[in-house]
Structure 1
C-alpha cells in the first residue's frame, strides 16, 4: 500500500478511470450484441440505427483512450461491412 499522498491519490484516480473504462467497454459489447442480433433477424432499419450509435460510442472510446484508435476503426469497419453485405 502506498504511503505517499500523491501515490494514494493516483490509486484513487486509477480506480475511477478503470471503472469508467470497464463500463464503456461493456456498453460497446452490449450494443455489438444487439447489432448482431438485428442482423441475424434481417432487421435492417434497427441495425442501421445501432451502427450509427456504435460508431459514436467507439469513436468516443478511442478519443478517451479506452481503446486504441485502430481497434475502434477496425470494429467500425467490420460492422459496416457486415451491414452492407446483408443489405
Structure 2
C-alpha cells in the first residue's frame, strides 16, 4: 500500500518524541508537523534529516484505512491506546 497523496494523517494525528527540524522537542499529537508542505507532503521525505520514526510508519490498511477520514480516526485511536498513563 502507498500513502494517499494529501492525507498526512500520520504527520498530524500522532505524537513524535524525537526532534524534527523546526520542532526540536518533537511533535505533540494533533499538531501539524512544521515540515508538511501546503499540499500535505513531507518536506523532509528522502532527506537524512527526516526522523527515523517517520520512515518506520509504512502505509497499511490497518493504519490508513480506505479514506483520509478513516486514517485520522484509526491513528487517533492508536495514539490514545498508546498514550502513557
TM-score tier, shorter chain, comes to under 0.3
TM-score when normalising by structure 2:
0.26
Larger relative contact order (CA 8 Å, sep ≥ 6): 2
Which structure's residues are more often helix, by fraction?
A: 1
TM-score when normalising by structure 1:
0.26
